[in-house]
């Protein structure tokens, strides 16, 4: 830790490029499904032989992963650090729906969420509505979806950071112990 007890974790450009490439691969797959001939789809197994379902799935994949690629491109040129631990709190800029500054006094706990092979630090806060109301309409909708799905609007992945998840968890625990809410 530095003299002012601040730990800055930069965004990993390499990891962001990998995320963009992966998202673009799924956009291409979605385009393939969307453009696939109906006659070919009807020859598939019974469960997936509905052309309307396949075309809509392709369209949804193009839109969703296209938005993911766009968010990744935006992060690629973001010069702010991905995460900052300080005596004031946690400054989150790790994802496209980053929470911003979360003071230690507002943090009530945390848990680890695992989706596929990706782990997230889900930070529980005193007043979730404060974080749900941040940003524009799309960001607020994503915050509400995260809150309803995972119980908190504050989730921190290490996927775009120059740190692995175990190091992230260790740092979070150290700072919570030092500055966290004392009940």
**73 vs 139, residue with greater confidence:** 73
User: If DSSP codes are grouped into helix, strand and coil, which group holds residue 11?
Assistant: strand
Q: Is the pLDDT of residue 2 over 60?
A: no
Neighbours of 157 (CB within 10 A): 18
Q: Which two tokens stand for residue 183?
A: 């009940």
User: If DSSP codes are grouped into helix, strand and coil, which group holds residue 116?
Assistant: coil
Q: Is the pLDDT of residue 182 over 70?
A: no
Q: Give the domain ranges of the chain.
A: 12-76, 83-179
Q: Is the pLDDT of residue 1 over 60?
A: no
**Using the 8-state DSSP alphabet, how is residue 95 labeled?**
S
Q: What is the pLDDT of residues 27-48, one digit of tens each?
A: 999 999 999 999 999 888 777 8
User: If DSSP codes are grouped into helix, strand and coil, which group holds residue 30?
Assistant: helix
Please state, for a pLDDT cut of 90, what percent of the chain lies above it: 60
pLDDT of 116 reads 85
- 62 contacts 108 by C-beta, under 8 angstroms: no
Q: Within 13 Å and on the Cβ side, how many CA atoms surround 77?
A: 5
- 55 contacts 32 by C-beta, under 8 angstroms: no
- 175 contacts 104 by C-beta, under 8 angstroms: yes
Q: What is the pLDDT of residues 90-126, one digit of tens each?
A: 999 988 888 889 999 999 989 998 888 888 899 999 9
Q: What is the pLDDT of residues 70-90, one digit of tens each?
A: 999 999 999 999 999 999 999
Q: Helices 13-35 and 51-76, interaxial angle, to 10°?
A: 160
Q: What is the pLDDT of residues 142-178, one digit of tens each?
A: 889 888 988 898 989 888 899 999 999 999 999 999 9
């Amino acid at each position: 830790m530095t003299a002012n007890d601040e730990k800055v974790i930069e965004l990993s450009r390499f990891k962001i490029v990998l995320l963009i490439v992966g998202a673009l691969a799924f956009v291409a797959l979605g385009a393939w499904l969307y453009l696939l001939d109906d006659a070919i789809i009807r020859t598939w197994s019974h469960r997936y032989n509905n052309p309307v379902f396949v075309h809509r799935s392709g369209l949804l994949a193009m839109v969703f992963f296209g938005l993911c690629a766009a968010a990744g491109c935006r992060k690629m040129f973001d010069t702010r650090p991905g995460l900052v631990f300080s005596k004031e709190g946690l400054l989150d800029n790790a994802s496209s729906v980053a929470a911003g500054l979360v003071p230690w006094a507002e943090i009530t706990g945390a848990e680890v969420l695992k989706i596929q092979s990706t782990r997230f630090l889900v930070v529980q806060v005193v007043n979730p509505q404060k974080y749900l109301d941040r940003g524009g309409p799309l960001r607020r909708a994503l915050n509400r979806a995260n809150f309803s799905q995972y119980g908190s609007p504050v989730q921190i992945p290490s996927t775009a950071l120059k740190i692995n998840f175990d190091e992230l968890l260790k740092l979070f625990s150290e700072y919570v112990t030092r500055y966290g809410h004392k009940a």
